[in-house]
Amino acid sequence: MDDAEEVFAADDGSNNSDSTNLWDRIIAALQGMLLDTGFEETHSSFCRQHCHEFEDGDENKLCYTQLFEAYCELLEGSIQRALQAAVPGLSMDEFAAMLGERQEQLGAEVFDLLLSMSDFATFKELMLETRRQQESSAEQQQLLLSGITCSAAPLHTEEQEDGEQRPDLDFCSLSIAPLAPAALGGRPAGAAAKTKAAQQPSRAGSSKQAGAAAASVKRQSGRALVV
């Protein structure tokens, strides 16, 4: 077969309607804008700068609305510049009309971006997520500066059975024998009685000191040191 006869059908867009071609150019422009490092930095910088104003809760402060309006103006300006570069003369009203008819054809990233402009709850969650990421990053940085690192400890599920046996360390084989009377000195009973009588005042004094020490411990129990 001659090579000239091997021609396959190709879609060059000539069969599409003008509105479809226009929409494809719009989508390509928006996707290109999202990939642009300048836009990404502008968007991220705004979120990082203002995310600490937001708190997780049902109450919405007045500044939330003001920041939402500023965010919408920022994104709208970026979108308008991207569309003007791809489709000169296209107005935002025309873009909004086409968006209402073809929103199901949007990619996920473009859809999320436009949703954050039109839905306050989505915008607020974006700011809260940015704040959580910043706080988590700050905590990790603090741990690194203090020299503390977190790592998982190995978990041993099997007992190690190898090694040298040491029967001399088997404390279960130890036995204790009572002391013989001779080991106590073998003092006569009379001498022991005199010694006991002589020690009575000393023990009384020791009891008073012990009581004072116990009272001191009770008073200072709330200030115990943990080593």
pLDDT of residue 214: 43
Q: Domain containing 126 — which CATH number? A: 1.20.1520.10
pLDDT tens track for 145-182: 776 555 555 555 555 556 566 655 555 555 555 555 55
pLDDT tens track for 62-99: 999 999 999 999 999 999 999 999 999 998 888 889 98
**Does the residue 139 lie in any domain?**
yes
**Does the residue 67 lie in any domain?**
yes
Q: What is the mean pLDDT of residues 43-63?
A: 94
**Does the residue 109 lie in any domain?**
yes
Q: Give me the chain's average pLDDT, please.
A: 74
Q: Which domain holds residue 67?
A: 18-145
**Does the residue 209 lie in any domain?**
no
Cα separation, 190 vs 70, in Å, equals: 101
**Does the residue 23 lie in any domain?**
yes
More confident residue, 217 or 166: 166
**Does the residue 222 lie in any domain?**
no
Given a cut of 60, is residue 59 above it in pLDDT?
yes
pTM: 0.55
Number of domains in the chain: 1
Query: Would you state the structure tokens that stand for residue 139, as one six-digit string?
Result: 């905590």
